[in-house]
Structures are given as structure tokens and as C-alpha cells.
Amino acid sequence: MNIKKRLILSNTITIIIPFVVTIIAAFLFLFASSRIFNRNISYDNFKKTIFIKTQLSDASNDIWRQKSADIEDPNFQKYLKQKVSIINGDIIILKNNSVIYNSKEINKIDIEKCLLEAKNQSQKKIVIIDDIAYMVEVAPLKFKDEAIGSAILLAPTFEYSSILERFIIFVFVVFLITFITVNIFMSYLLSKRIIKPLELLKSAVGQISKGDLNVEITEIGDEEIRELCEDFEKMRIQLKDTTHMKKKYDDNRTMLVSSISHDLKTPITSIKGYVKGILDGVANTPEKEERYLKTIYSKSEQMDVMIDDLLLYSKLDLSQLPFNFEKTDIIDYFNYCIHESSLELEKFNIKISLKSNLDGVKYVRIDRERLMRVILNIIDNSRKYMDKKQGEITIFLRETNSSIIIEIRDNGSGIDENDVNKIFDRFYRADAARSEANGSGLGLAIAKQIVEGHSGTIWAVSHEDQGISILISLGKIS
């Protein structure tokens, strides 16, 4: 339920329930009064009581408005008698406790009862005279001779007319108490569904602002509150992932700097050693000096390759290197790759060949230059770690329903099964071959980045001492 509907429902219940409870309480009151206490408080009696009260009040107001000289005027007294006769009422005028006008014979005791009842602060003002219930209204008088008196207005009514007033008060009190109770209860429910979730959200956000990104934001409450909590939870997860990724990048950067520094130290040390040898006169013949200088140049080129690879890897890692994709015949492309590398491999007595199991001409969308770097890098790795007199590198092409599988297999020294998943890590080299390998240690890491930039996959399969296979999967197109 959303907040708008909940507020409408809450306000509706706050109004309806007090009315329903009040109506039920009123019926119970009427039932108890009429059936249990035998008090007739029907609507007609209620209407009659109100009418009597109104007429008595009007007559009392007329007396208040008259001059003191008119009070003893017989015409005015007759007028008052006619006014209260509508309700079968009577009027008694007292002057200094003496009756000067009386439309009804009444003894002094009953007169005192009327005066006492008039002084009563309650709303009842009912007196019983000769077993008849009268509603009484008393107006104080001041005569022209400064004498003090009273006008007593009487009107017959039923004995329990005052219960109607109690009924009205009862109904009002029941409605007020029920309204307050329901309002407090609905406010509690509303706060439980709105304020409590917001307090939990506030607490969680406070923890997040302090750096605790493991605080899960619970999605409770109404629709808008849950959506708000869901958005904050997504923000927390994204912030956590960003923080984790930043930490990972920082760690990777630290490791990258550490590793490249370690790998650069070896050629720099060699260069320094050969330069010192020249300066110290160790290279005392032209032939020896030329050999020293060639070694220095070779180490400098090695450093240049390492730095180029590092820059390339950084660009690939930050997705800053654009790819120029072209529709390419995969068989023609690998024939070209073999042509580019075969002459160099022949120097090391390594034979390279292509075996295709493709059904006809197949196309892939690739960046020819970037993928060429991957293929030549894999082939060059096979050359470095070749331990057979007659080396063989075979490129197999096969296909699935949606992709082309490229397998580059050699018969070299292979790699331990436990290390096969690590060869695409930066600066990783198998321990057995570390001392003989030259390069940046980023070759296969760069290859992985380039293949993944083609939306492809690259992995390795070890054949123990019979060599290793590097496999690449690329999506094929028509």
C-alpha cells in the first residue's frame, strides 16, 4: 500500500469508527434507559423538552427586557401568562417574598423548592409539585420602589426529561473519547509503517556515511518507503562495489609498479655493469668494447619493449584503447599470421602449420592489428619455452553454432596443471622458465585484454611435458 492510500484510509477510519461506536453507545443508552430503568426518552419527548426550554427562556428574556414599572402592570402579567400557556405553563411573581401574581395556586414550600432549584448549577431544574414534574425557570426582578423579587416560570414536563441532557453529554463524551483513542491508535500504526522504516533508513545511512558499507538496508514499510530503501540499497551496493574496485585497482597498481620495477631492475643492472666495465677499461679491445655496447643496446631494447607493453596494458585495462573491427575471413587471416612468423621460427627449428575443420568460408569481426599481436605473442611464447629439437606449433580452427574456436598448440615444455590458470596474470612466469625468459611478463595479460575487447574468451590447457594449448573463442558472423 502506498502512503497516499494509507493516509486516506487512516483518516476515514479515524472519522467512521467514532461515529459507529457513538451510534452503538447511543442505542445501548436508550435501550438501558427505556427497558431497564423505564424512562421514556423518545424523540417526541426530547423534542417537547427542547420546546418547553425554549419557551421558558423566551419568557424569561421578555421579563429581563421590561422596565421595573411594567412588572406590576396587569397587562404585562397577562401577556406573560398567555406566552407560557402555549406549554401549559404558569407564572408566579414574588415581591419581597410575597406573591403579588399567581396563575397557579402554589404553597410557600413549593415556591422555596422552585427558588432553590433555580439556584442549582445543574441543567436539571425539575421540581415535583402535587406529583407533577415541572420545568422551572426563575428570573430576578427589581421593582420601581427598589423592592427585590422573582418571577417563577413553570411548565409541566415528564419526570425524566433531564436524562435527555445526560444523553447528549454521554454521546458527546463517547464520541470524543473514541475519536481521541482511534486517532492515537491510527497515528501509532502510521508511524510504525512510515516513521520506523525512515528511522531504520536514517540509522543505516548514518553507518554508511561513517564508512561501514556492509550495513544492509532493509526494505520495509509502504510502497514509497520500500522504493526509497531499494534505491539506497542499490546505492550502497554500487558504492561498495566502487570502493572494492578502487581498492583492487590500487592494489593492482601497487603490484604493477612493484613488478615492473623488479623486471626493469635486471636490465638496468646489466647496463650499469657494462657501462662501468667500459669506463673502468675492462673492455680493452675493440672487439670486447663492441660486444659490451651491443649488450647495452639489447638491454635497452628489452626495457623499451617492457615499457611499451606496460603502457599498452594500462590503456587496455582502462578501456582507453579503441578497436578497429573489420569483417575478416578467418582462414585467410591465419594463413597470413603463419606467413609472418614462419621465417623467424625456422631459425629455431620450429615448424608451424594450420589445420582447419571449418565448413567453408567463415567470418569474424576483429581488429586485425590487435589480434595479430595476440597470435604472435602466443607463438613467441611457444618459441621461448620450446625444449624439443624439432619444435612444432599447430593452429587448429573449428566451430560451434555461434563461435570459432582457435587452438594454438605446441610440443614444448608445457606447464604444471596447477599453474595453467595463472599464465594470464600480469608478470606471471612459470618458475622453471623464469631465468630464461625475456620480456615484460605482460604478454598473455595483454592478450587476454585484447580478446575480451573482442567479446571473446581465452584459456589454456596443459598437456604436461607434451606442450600447451592456448584456445580463443570468437563470435562468428555471416
Residues 292, 296: Cα–Cα separation, whole Å = 6
Query: Residue 436: pLDDT band by 50, 70, 90 thresholds?
Result: very low
Contact 136/73 with Cβ under 8 angstroms? no
Contact 133/161 with Cβ under 8 angstroms? yes
Residues 64, 354: Cα–Cα separation, whole Å = 128
User: Has residue 73 got a pLDDT over 90?
Assistant: no
Beta bridge partners of 241: none
How many C-beta atoms lie closer than 10 Å to residue 477's C-beta? 11
Contact 60/49 with Cβ under 8 angstroms? no
Q: Which H, E and C letters describe 264-329, residue by residue?
A: HHHHHHHHHHHHHHHHCCCCCCHHHHHHHHHHHHHHHHHHHHHHHHHHHHHHHHCCCCCCCCEEEE
Residues 16, 179: Cα–Cα separation, whole Å = 9
Task: Give the distance from CA 190 to its chain's centroid.
Answer: 18
Residues 414, 398: Cα–Cα separation, whole Å = 23
- pLDDT tens-digit readout, 103-136: 777 788 877 877 877 776 555 577 777 777 777 8
| Range 147-160 average pLDDT | 74
User: Has residue 68 got a pLDDT over 80?
Assistant: no
Please state which of the ranges 22-36, 203-217, 424-438 shows the lowest mean pLDDT: 424-438
165 vs 12, which has greater pLDDT? 12
Residues 346, 104: Cα–Cα separation, whole Å = 147
The predicted model scores a pTM of: 0.47
Q: First-to-last CA distance in the chain?
A: 52
**HSE of 340 in the Cβ direction (CA atoms, 13 Å)?**
14
3-state secondary structure of 129: strand
* Cell triple for 411: 610440443
Question: What's the confidence (pLDDT) of residue 38?
Answer: 53
Residue with cell 605446441: 410
The closest alpha carbon to 91, from 119, 65, 58, 120, belongs to: 58
* Cell triple for 377: 605473442
How many C-beta atoms lie closer than 10 Å to residue 91's C-beta? 22
Beta bridge partners of 151: 93, 139
Residue count (the chain): 478
440 vs 353, which has greater pLDDT? 353
Phi-psi region of 279 (alpha: psi -120 to 50; beta: other; left: phi over 0): alpha
User: Has residue 365 got a pLDDT over 90?
Assistant: yes
- pLDDT tens-digit readout, 399-409: 998 899 999 99
